[in-house]
Chain A
Amino acid sequence: MDLLNALVTFANFVFIPAVAYGAQLAIGALGVTLIYGILRFSNFAHGDTMAFGTMITILFTWWFQSMGISFGPLPTALLALPIGIVLTALFVLGTDRVVYRFYRKQRVATSILVIVSLGVTFIMNGITRFIIGTEEQNFADGERFVISAADFKATTGLAEGLAIKSTQAITLATAVIVVAALFWFLNRTRTGKSMRAFSDNEDLALLSGINPERVVAVTWIITAALATIAGVLYGLDKSFKPFTYFQLLLPIFAAAVVGGLGSPVGAIAGGFVIAFSEVMVTYAWKKVLGYLLPDSLAPEALVQLLTTDYKFAVSFTILIAVLLFKPTGLFRGKSV
């Protein structure tokens, strides 16, 4: 029985990765939930918006690196991030102008809007693949670790190391800033309040003189920013590959639905619920249990509930369970 080592192992392999992943999912889910609240459809292009924004950020990161600009210990990508956000926002506003606005005026059924967003997905996907290719790209630079496993072992004298990657710390810090800024915006500014009013009751909001086109435009800009930030953080933490970003749709949607579509608080909670379930179900608990249990009971197998290949099954199961038993999500989003 070695509680301390068990805790450190747990923190190193489960808690810290899940917190970082959860923050990335939460920022992604915030974008999905905002679009759902204001424009009232599930945006299938969100994953590819993330990929698009990340791609632009990567291109500018490379450019900065070639000019010798760096951000000290932090990744250069953070310097390129604002440019990525602006260009993605412009692109997304363009798609709204050319594509979505027409259907909004016609007030078409939700499913038509979803199919339209699929069309946008293909175009963004093609552009991304055309510009940067389908291969995996690593663009993280700067310090790799805040605390490295070896340092931790040397300082504490424990058998297990605890590593905190700088990308994980950056993810968490950025997430806190982004969420704080977003909530300040939604709750304190005039535009944010008009967005919430529009989301709660469109007709009433229109009657009180809110300009719908402005609300929609602001929503797209915020969504583009959130998608780019989520994409860059995910890419820094793991790596960038366009198809992976399309597949992230499932956990992100699951996070948004678990929290309750249309509810920003819910999206954040949902992100962490999904991330923790995914990591905990696919983690091999052998080592942790080995420390916790007496030697005679220590497991020989990996004690892994599902292999990581089935991580989609985790988000999916949670999604279905929530939809069946609590369709409005944990935080009372829009009803089904």
Chain B
Amino acid sequence: MTSRNLALFAAVAVLFLITGFFQSWNLALSILNMAIVSAIMAMGVNIQWGYAGLFNVGIMGFAALGGLAVVLTSSQPVEGAWRAGGPGIVLGLLLGVATIGLAVALYRRMQQGLPRTATIIAVLLGGFFLYRWVFDPAAVAVEANNPEAFGNIGGFGLPALVAWPMGGLLAAAAAWAIGKTALGLRSDYLAIATLGIAEIVIAVMKNEDWLARGVKNITQLPRPWPVPLEVDLQQSQPFLDWAGRWGFDPVLTSSIIVKLAYAGLFLTVLLIVVWLSERALRSPWGRTMRAIRDNEVSAEAMGKYVTGRHLQVFILGSAVVGIAGAMMTTLDGQLTPGSYSPLRYTFLIWMMVIVGGSGNNWGAVLGGFLIWWLWIMVEPMGLWLMGTITAGMADGSWLKTHLQDGAAHMRPVTKGVILLLVLRFSPRGLIPEK
């Protein structure tokens, strides 16, 4: 790291310190925690786009899958749910997978022509109805099981830390399936395809109530291992004594300690991901990736297996996004499918990579911290700006109310302007690739 890069990181650190001193440390720490999560997601995008030039705008979907894995892994098992329809659901899903597998096998084995098309369509249609016939009653039965409180299949009750790698695995599995079908496509087709996948993932999570209660949300997901509950801290005598000795407010201090614990945990994950990514980038594998990115044809001519490498890097990047998505859901303590939007979960992460410097891991991390801080701070800034502009206007005037309501929409405009300015005047980002 050069001194210039260190100065950039220091400058971003100062932003967080300013927030801490002038607003509150609670706020500064909660921005920091999400900034770390965002930085990890940005690393995932950087692995795909910066290393290999893969244009994936389905980040939201992979982050949401990570969140789903948290629910399925670490939430408590639901009484009676498995008995109500668990086997039926699993069998139905297996039938669905088998149908697709059979169709693919037929496509590969049979001669091209009308018989093949007809057989495949028949297999797909038959498989679809069979799947619905097995799956639907099971899903309905699970949803009917104590619908007020649960109605979902429940989780395994495993520790939250186990759920994070599971989030990575689930995202990786999805990435494998998507990569197998869509990776051969040219860049903007891949973009459209991944954009669609992400919408479908969210639609599934919103509507399949048996999976994670859909828009009824799952709350009270467990904390990861060293992070205590605020309530427990506030009731523990040693903590109260300690806080009293220093003259701290116990309620505020407990919430700060919880956030610090999260920050420590998240930073560990971030550093591990950065270390692994740096190792990978400097290895022969990383050089191959960059060679493919810069000139696919010549890399192929040199005997590099372009499609295979692309699939690898697509899976790896998506897994990193999935882990970050799982961490975020654990941090929130709840899974709310309705809150996923592409502007926030896909394009914001992309901005972090582009502003930070695509192809450079430290750039992605810096971009993650900086852009997340800005994203949170632009709204109060917009409110302040609108307040100043409208200060001279009569209270209750139509324009004044409208302008003040509109301050919330400063975010997309600012985002667009920053993106365009960076692309125009500093296309390699704050910390360019070496």
Contact = CB atoms under 8 A, between A and B. Distances in A.
Closest 5 CB pairs of A and B: A122-B416, A126-B413, A126-B412, A123-B416, A316-B196
Contact of A110 (B188, B350, B420): B188
Interface string B134-166: 000000000000000000000000000000000
A114 B189 contact: no
Contacts of A131: 406
B207 A310 contact: yes
Interface stretch (A86-94, A198-206, A317-325): A317-325
A257 B53 CA distance: 22
B132 to A, nearest CB: 8
A81 to B, nearest CB: 25
Interface stretch (A19-27, A245-253, A269-277): A245-253
A243 B423 CA distance: 25
A192 B342 CA distance: 37
B203 to A, nearest CB: 5
29 contacts: A42-B188, A42-B189, A110-B186, A111-B53, A111-B187, A111-B188, A112-B427, A114-B55, A115-B419, A119-B420, A120-B420, A122-B347, A125-B412, A126-B409, A126-B411, A126-B415, A129-B406, A130-B413, A250-B192, A257-B192, A305-B128, A309-B206, A312-B196, A312-B203, A313-B200, A316-B197, A319-B193, A319-B196, A323-B182
B417 A123 contact: yes
Given A42-B191, A313-B200, A320-B181, A336 B416 contact: no
Given A257-B192, A316-B193, A123 B413 contact: yes
A99 to B, nearest CB: 6
Interface string A105-145: 00001111011101111111111011101000000000000
A114 B141 CA distance: 45
A316 B188 CA distance: 14
A243 to B, nearest CB: 8
A120 B415 CA distance: 10
B195 A133 contact: no
A284 B46 CA distance: 44
B113 to A, nearest CB: 13
B187 A119 contact: no
A76 interface: no
Contacts of A312: 196, 199-200, 203
Task: Say which size band chain A's interface belongs to.
Answer: 35 or more
A114 B191 contact: yes
Nearest to A310: B203
A209 B302 CA distance: 41
A114 to B, nearest CB: 5
B412 A123 contact: yes
Contact of B199 (A130, A250, A324): A250
Contacts of B258: none
A127 B195 contact: no
Kindly name the residue among B55, B196, B343, B411 whose own CB sees the greatest number of chain A CB atoms within 10 A. Answer: B196
Interface in A314-336: 315-316, 319-320, 323-324, 327, 336
A114 B412 CA distance: 17
A41 interface: yes
Contacts of B423: 112, 115-116, 119
Contacts of A123: 412-413, 416-417, 420
Given A114-B55, A312-B200, A324 B193 contact: no
A184 interface: no
Contact of B186 (A243, A305, A336): A336
B424 interface: yes
A320 B193 contact: yes
A102 interface: yes
Contacts of A111: 53, 55, 187-188, 191
A129 to B, nearest CB: 4
Contacts of A118: 347, 350, 419
A307 interface: yes
A130 B409 contact: yes
B14 interface: no
Contacts of B412: 122-123, 125-126, 129
Given A122-B412, A123-B413, A126-B416, A115 B200 contact: no
Nearest to A122: B416
A49 to B, nearest CB: 14
Interface string B405-434: 110011111111101100110010000000
Contacts of A307: 207
Contacts of B90: none
A120 B413 CA distance: 9
Contacts of B193: 316, 319-320, 323
A99 B420 contact: yes
A41 B187 CA distance: 10
B270 interface: no
Contacts of A109: 187
Contacts of B68: none
Interface string A255-274: 00100000000000000000
B197 A126 contact: no
Contacts of A305: 128
B185 interface: yes
Nearest to B358: A115
Nearest to A124: B416
Contacts of A120: 416, 420
B354 interface: yes
A122 B350 contact: no
B189 A122 contact: no
A115 B416 contact: no
A23 to B, nearest CB: 22
B75 to A, nearest CB: 24
B382 to A, nearest CB: 10
Nearest to B405: A133
Contacts of B347: 118, 122
Contacts of A257: 189, 192
A324 B183 CA distance: 10
A320 B182 contact: yes
Interface in B160-215: 181-182, 185-189, 191-193, 195-197, 199-200, 203-204, 206-207
A103 to B, nearest CB: 8
Nearest to A111: B187
A130 to B, nearest CB: 4
A222 to B, nearest CB: 21
A201 B434 CA distance: 37
A133 B401 CA distance: 12
A316 B187 CA distance: 16
B196 A315 contact: yes
Contacts of B195: 249-250
B65 to A, nearest CB: 16
